[in-house]
Structures are given as structure tokens and as C-alpha cells.
Amino acid sequence: MSDKHANPGDAVDADAVRRFRRLVIVTAVASFLLVILGGVVRVVDAGLGCGPEAAGLSGWPLCDGQLVPNVDTHSVVEYSHRILAAIVVVLLLAVLWQTVRQFRDRPALRRWAFGAVLLVFGQAVLGGLTVEYGLHSGFVAAHLGTAMALLAILMVIYSIAGPRRPDPGAGKGLIAVASVACLLLLSTIVAGGVIAGTEKHGTPDGHTITGAHYACGQQFPTCNNEFLPFGRGEMTDIQLTHRVLMFFASLAIATLAVMLLRRRLNGRIPVVILVVLGVQVLLGAVNVWADESALLVLAHLTTGSALWMLVAGVLISLLNPGTMPDRERAGPTAPDAGTAAAGASPA
């Protein structure tokens, strides 16, 4: 993940490194807010606020065929999402420019920054395809998945731009558990994106189609008075797939947190992860038990994104331990041991 023989402090002064890392944090916060604003677009039915399905360029990147949309609630919400996306692109280009200009001895840093820029442009294309194809669930899920990947890459950039220090000896087993937890959590989030896409919010069919959200009625953890009744219908299978992934992701994340606590790694981050995980599972259950609420949907998305940044941040810190403070490696009595990568999270 990083250049083993390069130290950013050798070629770049400490103030420049701090300014660069602050820029990365600002970019990560903007990217996080972009995800939440995307959730707002969904819950206010503004996904097609700039034009109907198959509108071509007049629906994206234009809005109702105009560069600046009319003053309409749906158009303004959708267009605000696009403006924030443009700001994220500018910030990412600034990050890339800084890596080229100041970190010439860190090719890995430039590669990650270049990858982030490519990913955000790919995400923009997915956004356009989502609009063009009437909020197809596949594009909705892919759009959300790439947003999570972008957040993780920004944390990688923040991490490897920091000072190089010895490995705390996390071990391959802990890294493997963290990797599995990240994979399962990302899969759960993407599956949630598929569920959101099946609801067709903001489309002409949005008020007549029954998506996967209530495919199990208002029952959790059971489903229509049964336990995991796969094969009863496409929407039911989508909902159950999300639940199964959630169960295994929760188990992996809880295991990771307990292992970190037992080894006294990453300070208070494991406790925060357990709390956020519990809140996220509870929000998911309440989203099913209660009538659909915009605030509940947004809270579920926000907490899920924050959980992703925390868990991915732990994995990044284990793979790139150079960012861990010296006091963390002092031993079991160390009072605090924050993870720089997880610290980039706005959660």
C-alpha cells in the first residue's frame, strides 16, 4: 500500500504535509456529505428532478435541458447534489495536483490520488446512467458502492501521507478479519442500494411499485412469519440477501472490535465501532417495523457510511501502521491510540 523506503518528511516540510492532510480531510467530509445528499435526493423523490428517463443530455449533465434549472423543489435538490459532486471533483483534482507537486518521492501516493480522480469521474458517469435508465436498481447500487470506495481511498491517501513508524505487530489473523469485515460490510451497503433502487422513488411508477423494502412486511428478524423464506419472490430474495449479509457483516465487525480491544490496538475506535454497529442494526430494524420515514432512511444511510469509514479505517491502519502514534505501541498501558485513517472520518 505504501513506499517502504520513502519518508515524506525527507522531501516535504511538516507544515506542507499537515496542509495536504487537511485538504484530504476536507475532501473526505465533502464526499461523505455527497453520499448523504444523495440519500436526500432519494427520500424527496428527486432522482429524476432534472428530467425523465431516457432524456439524454437534457437530463444529465444538463437539468431540464438547461445549465441552471428552474426553481422547482425536485430540480433544486437534484441539482444541489450535482453541484456538491462538482466540488468534490475539484477537491480531488487539488489533491492529485498536490501529490504531483509536493510528493514526487511518493509514487504510491500519486497512484492512489489518480485512482480517486478516475473513480469520481466513473461515479459521475454512473450517476448519469442512473438518471438515463430511470433509477435502475443496479446503477443505484453501483453508484453507492463507488461512493464507499472513494471514501476508503481518501483514507488511504490520508494514511500514507503521514509519518513512517514501526509495525505494531497486528498479525495476519487480525488483518484477515478486518478484510472480511470490510468486504461483508461493503456488500451489505451495496445490497441496501439495490433495495433502494427497487422502490423507484421519484419515478412515474414510484407510487405503484412495491419494492424490496417491505417485501417481508413489517417483520424483523422474521419474514412474513417465516425464517429466511428464500425463493418466494424476487423482492423477498433481495431483502433477505441484505439481511443475511448484514448478519455476517455484524458478526465479523464485532469479532474485529473484540480482537482490537483484547490487543489494545486503535484506542477507543473499537468501542465506537461497536456502538455505531448497534445503532445501525437498530435503525435497520426500525426502518422495517415502522412506516417508511425519510429521517429513518437518512439516519440508516448516514450511520452505515460512518460505520464503513470506521471499519475501513481500521483495516488501513493495520496495513499501513506507520500512522499510529508512538504511545499506542508503548504497550497495554497506553491510554489512547487513535487511528489516523479512521480519524479522517467525519462521523
| Domain end call among 146, 164, 182 | 164
Interaxial angle between packed helices 294-319 and 172-198, expressed in degrees from 0 to 180 and rounded to the nearest 10: 160
- Structural domain count of the chain: 2
The pTM for the full model equals: 0.83
Q: Please give the DSSP secondary-structure letter assigned to residue 45.
A: T
Q: Quick one: 106 and 225 in the same domain?
A: no
Please say whether the beta carbons of 44 and 73 come within 8 A: yes
Tell me the backbone φ, ψ of residue 226, rounded to 5 degrees. Answer: -130, 170
Q: Quick one: 173 and 296 in the same domain?
A: yes
Q: Quick one: 78 and 117 in the same domain?
A: yes
Q: Quick one: 84 and 194 in the same domain?
A: no
Give the pLDDT confidence score for residue 50 in this predicted structure: 77
What CA–CA distance (Å, rounded) separates 28 from 207? 35
Please say whether the beta carbons of 157 and 344 come within 8 A: no
Tell me the backbone φ, ψ of residue 9, rounded to 5 degrees. Answer: -70, -20
Q: Quick one: 201 and 156 in the same domain?
A: no
Q: Quick one: 44 and 185 in the same domain?
A: no
What CA–CA distance (Å, rounded) separates 106 from 15? 17
Rg of the Cα trace of the chain? 21
pLDDT tens digit at each of 347 positions of the chain: 544 434 444 456 788 889 999 999 999 999 999 999 999 988 887 777 776 766 766 777 777 777 777 777 778 888 899 999 999 999 999 999 999 998 888 888 999 999 999 999 999 999 888 887 877 889 999 999 999 999 999 999 999 888 765 565 668 899 999 999 999 999 999 999 999 888 855 445 545 457 888 899 889 999 999 999 999 999 999 999 999 999 999 999 999 999 999 988 888 999 999 999 999 999 999 999 987 788 999 999 999 999 999 999 999 988 875 543 333 333 333 333 334 334 443 33
Q: Quick one: 27 and 122 in the same domain?
A: yes
Tell me the backbone φ, ψ of residue 274, rounded to 5 degrees. Answer: -65, -40
Q: Quick one: 149 and 265 in the same domain?
A: no
What CA–CA distance (Å, rounded) separates 11 from 331? 31
Give the pLDDT confidence score for residue 175 in this predicted structure: 93
Q: How many CB atoms lie within 10 A of CB 31?
A: 27
| Domain end call among 111, 140, 164 | 164
Q: Quick one: 45 and 142 in the same domain?
A: yes
Q: Quick one: 65 and 149 in the same domain?
A: yes
What CA–CA distance (Å, rounded) separates 283 from 5? 45
Q: How many CB atoms lie within 10 A of CB 33?
A: 15
| Domain end call among 141, 164, 187 | 164
Distance of CA 7 to the CA centre of its chain: 29
Give the pLDDT confidence score for residue 181 in this predicted structure: 98
Q: Please give the DSSP secondary-structure letter assigned to residue 56.
A: G
Q: How many CB atoms lie within 10 A of CB 98?
A: 20
Structural domain harbouring 276: 167-347
Please say whether the beta carbons of 159 and 79 come within 8 A: no
66 - beta bridge partners? 63
What CA–CA distance (Å, rounded) separates 46 from 23? 31
